[in-house]
Chain A
């Protein structure tokens, strides 16, 4: 019985780290993987989702609906930002980094000025369950399940729907797609909106567990960039296995040596991976497919 408890606790820590990496990187991976845009405002889309979720939750909406509101709000902001700024910078990836960084600074300071240094959050729902001498937050298990569900739905979206076919075509051969009558500008806009919405979803999902401050996006940024860099351009053969590998590294190092080594482990893993596999995990795996 004690053995079972230990296995469960190890799985729980792994699932917790995995969920955080997958959920926080999904939006970034879609925007980078599909469009090649390095979105430095990713953390601020997360913050947007978290703030809207908290506001909606406190206004009396049930939490799942509030989270959807957060994701939707971030998606709308994303589509607007794409239309106003990003759209003009597709041929200039370095400029788009600066532009998104500027957007992130404006968003953080703007929220600070408008809403103050902090905002009241919504409490974590679902309570806890006891197992042996330990107790676990049930919401953390929901987050793990959500991360798996998220990967599944993205797979279905990109490989089983018309939008998926068109968007993949637009990304791989934009000129050909245009020649076949695809409105590529609209596809780019929607894809960016999807990425921003996924970031908002991350904010919404983690809002009940975190402090609401304008800079909260920063705590997701390192993890999400590390996952995307290790994973490479493809979210399914890249980001998902990268999150699994990094979650094992992080959870075990944190368990043995504490948080500091968990963080160091993540960063060392990136350095090794980009040295050995410049294309990330997905580039490496794709070489075998050929």
Chain B
């Protein structure tokens, strides 16, 4: 009986589709997006806004008629900056809530915590965060920026401007360790010297010794890869000890809007490469900020992860409409055509089929003495080339692995 009824329904769908010329899924229920982001805990300051960005994109798409006529329904869980919650909720959205796609994760530790589960249940996950790069996994689509976009631009520019001696201060987990490796490699390639490298456990908030180490080194600038609200205390403490060195970062300002949270001039002379922040003065960006603030008037700051999350919903819409289904293989086939692009708040971006990462225009943001932002330099449309060049090709195989400069994909 079930078989018959399913069969009838399928036939009716086919007929309906043939008559209307619309894809068959138009008659189905809503498309469900699972959202796992930290709305509380150590990372909430930088990530609560991602949920709002997804809600904004969802509202706009639903108001305009949904994805192929189907509305988007969000299934949102607060992961509380806790890796175990990520695993728990990833299982729940994929098994119990049966969502079509998941948007998940801030810290690289949380991503690596849920990635095996996404693989186990073959879930499709958008990771809308800048990170240390290297994830070659066909269950993952990454819309955030990666080292070849953030460090290959920033570090040589800083060395030209301030000098060759570099001190790295990084959070002590996979993000900080691998990012520091990228910095080390780029500094060496450009003829510079690492005069210090220090890894700080998450949750450390007292930096007197670190500040002294930096002053004793011969550094021309400090690369800060500090993560979470406790570690952000560094800036205030460094400013009050008058360290006075320029700082470079791939995470600060663009994620945690430290220039808004701390009193000037503690973030002065900070240089950040980011693909989006709300100060970017383009018509597309200003329009985005206006729409965002209309829906969320109290939003403290619209950061790069907000833009990437917003773009991700729209990219997903495009892929589902082109595939005519939410089936993962069909969506990956669309992605493989290599022309999934979107004209969003950060300009035009495209997904690279080999690595499933996104191209970005990278803005160099400089924090002034009064914590105002200027953009001394812009690099247009940088492809996420490293993974593809290193041998990751998700159109051919799926190693489900994370690679680093010292541990690249095996030679083909």
Contacts and interface: CB of A to CB of B under 8 A. Distances in A.
Given A117-B48, A128-B241, A219-B203, A208 B208 contact: no
Given A121-B236, A209-B233, A16 B208 contact: yes
A184 interface: no
Contacts, number: 128
A161 interface: no
B252 to A, nearest CB: 12
Nearest to A16: B208
B8 interface: no
B204 interface: yes
Given A16-B208, A219-B205, A135 B41 contact: no
Given A128-B242, A211-B229, A216-B229, A120 B205 contact: no
B240 A124 contact: yes
Contacts of A215: 41-42, 229
Interface stretch (B194-202, B304-312, B374-382): B194-202
B237 interface: yes
Interface in B99-122: none
With a 10 A CB-CB cut-off, give which of B205, B208, B237 has the most chain A CB atoms: B208
Interface in A209-231: 209-216, 218-219
Interface string A119-146: 0111110111010011111111000000
8 contacts: A20-B206, A121-B261, A123-B239, A134-B215, A137-B242, A219-B230, A259-B172, A259-B209
B240 A137 contact: yes
Contacts of A135: 215, 241-243
Given A121-B262, A121-B263, 18 more contacts: A13-B208, A13-B212, A17-B208, A117-B40, A120-B260, A121-B261, A122-B263, A128-B242, A134-B212, A135-B242, A137-B208, A209-B236, A210-B233, A215-B41, A215-B229, A258-B199, A259-B198, A260-B199
Contact of A124 (B39, B41, B239): B239
Interface residues of B, number: 40
A259 B242 contact: no
Given A117-B45, A122-B263, A208-B236, A216 B230 contact: yes
Contacts of B212: 9, 12-13, 134
Contacts of B236: 121, 123-124, 208-211
Contact of B240 (A17, A128, A211, A213): A128
Contacts of A134: 212, 215-216
Interface of B: 39-42, 44-45, 48, 172, 198-201, 203-206, 208-210, 212, 215-216, 229-230, 232-233, 236-237, 239-243, 260-263, 266, 298, 300
Nearest to A220: B205
A153 interface: no
Interface residues of A, number: 48
A272 interface: no
Contacts of B209: 13, 251, 254-255, 259, 262
Contacts of B48: 116-117
Contacts of A137: 208, 237, 240-242
Contacts of B206: 16-17, 20
Contacts of B266: 123-124
B196 to A, nearest CB: 11
Contacts of A212: 261
A118 interface: yes
A127 B240 contact: yes
A12 B208 contact: yes
Contacts of B242: 127-128, 130, 135, 137
A20 B200 CA distance: 18
A143 B412 CA distance: 60
Interface string A1-34: 0000000010011001100100000000000000
A211 B200 contact: no
A124 B298 CA distance: 27
Contacts of A130: 242
A112 interface: yes
A147 B243 CA distance: 25
Given A109-B40, A135-B242, A216-B229, A209 B237 contact: yes
